[in-house]
Structure 1
């Protein structure tokens, strides 16, 4: 099954209103990153055990590990969770930056080092979220 089809099925499986919010967020990110590589991670490890929520990924970066290994991974990710939606902005060095730069303006969201979590799109300011996404893309551009 193609990545696009997996993403479509994942979003379609969400209950409303989360389904509509995920579809809109997917559309917005594709508008910000029109030619990006798409990823879909089903949340299962190599043995088939569920280890995380499924994720839709956008873009490409090289993650370098402390042991010298490196691998390709996405720059921006989204995932449905039990209370809403998470947007992952990966590869930002300063783990306080997102909260400091966007926390006051984004609306009702919890921000950690690389994650912006909210209940519904109507709870946040989309322009602020897009600015955070653009910042993350700029930080990890290859």
Structure 2
């Protein structure tokens, strides 16, 4: 299967008058595909530009006819509001394409964010990977 690995280094301001570097790394790989569903393994930080890259990858999969996508989030180490937004938008886009997006095996941090926001159920969060 295809492999889509991208790394970026972004410059960010930490406080007034100071600058530093924040290294955002997100890997998105299609690890299994069948007529029934496509398993996508996500690892790294689901934040900032990484969130947009994930959403772009989901869009490409949907455009290519993959209607049911399972995201394996076990290796996601951090998820901020932009990451949550990407998951919600991806779910909406898959539903609009007469398909679905399921989340699986999320790390403790990601699970907590989704449960506190009330999105775990809506996004179909599962404890194990089931493509």
TM-score norm. by structure 2 comes to 0.28
Tell me which protein shows more strand as a share of its residues.
2
